[in-house]
Amino acid sequence: MTTAADAARTTARILLEIEAVHFRPQQPFTLTSGRASPVYIDCRKIIAFPRARSKIIDLAVATIEREIGFESLDAIAGGETAGIPFAAWIADRLGLPMLYVRKKPKGFGRGAQIEGAMQPGWRCLLVEDLATDGGSKVNFVNAIREAEGKVSDALVVFHYGIFPSVETLAKLGVCLHGLATWRDMLAAAEAAGRLTAADARDVRAFLDDPEGWSTTRGGNVVA
């Protein structure tokens, strides 16, 4: 059986290979939250690489079977928009209905926020490409529950592992599962010689104190 450590190493290697990972300590990126970051990841690139995405879905399905269960889900729900392709591939692999959750209800027609044909009481797995602080997941979880669905687990390809995404979702009774974190990525990048020693130290400093690293480089303070 594929272990969580195996999944993390393989996912990190794939993301590095397809150049979805960017390290720029000297010219920090600005995240959606306003934080400054020496690292940035674009998981959407996975959709353009058939062999890589097939392996990622293999690892996602193994994670679901290992950490959630074989017969514990009734549907796979993708968060708009990046979660939709991953949810579709996972649903197809598991032989389950696929749904997608809008960020907000449509302003016309049925005004739906859940697209598909969800039945009341269905146990849904929320799928997205990545998680930073978990804020967008809260909106999707609430939408599923308001539509009479159940959700106790969320799966992402990648989560930062340094912001309170796990804690944010745990307050809602949702467990966050991810294939890899930035610490996994840093280990893979160092092993592959993708970082100088100085840049690796800077990235590690960010991982150890992301808020402090951000504020000293002009990033917003996030409550």
Please give the mean pLDDT across all residues of the chain: 93
Residue pair 129/86 in contact (Cβ under 8 Å)? The answer is: yes
In three-state secondary structure terms, 150 is: strand
What is the average per-residue pLDDT within 58-70? 97
Residue 67 main-chain phi, psi, to 5 deg:
-105, -20
Tokens coding 74: 């009734």
Distances in whole angstroms, Cα of residue 183 to Cα of each of 75, 114, 177, 186, 216: 31, 34, 15, 5, 21
In three-state secondary structure terms, 168 is: helix
Q: Which amino acid is at 166?
A: V
Name the residue ranges covered by the structural domains of the chain.
Answer: 4-215
pLDDT level of residue 109 (50, 70, 90 thresholds): very low
Instruction: Provide CB contacts within 8 A for 142, sequence distance 6+.
Output: 172
- 108 pLDDT above the threshold of 60: no
- Helices 182-191, 4-17: crossing angle, 10 deg rounding: 60
CA distance 146 to 163: 27
Read off the pLDDT of residues 168-202 as tens digits, 9 standing for 90 and up.
Answer: 899 999 999 999 999 999 999 999 999 999 999 99
Residue pair 30/19 in contact (Cβ under 8 Å)? The answer is: no
Of the chain, the percentage scoring pLDDT greater than 70 comes to 96
Question: If one looks up domain 4-215 in CATH, what number appears?
Answer: 3.40.50.2020
Of the chain, the percentage scoring pLDDT greater than 90 comes to 83
So what's the pLDDT on residue 218? 87
pLDDT level of residue 27 (50, 70, 90 thresholds): very high
Question: Which stretches does DSSP call E strand in 20-122?
Answer: 21-23, 29-30, 36-37, 39-41, 75-79, 98-101, 114-115
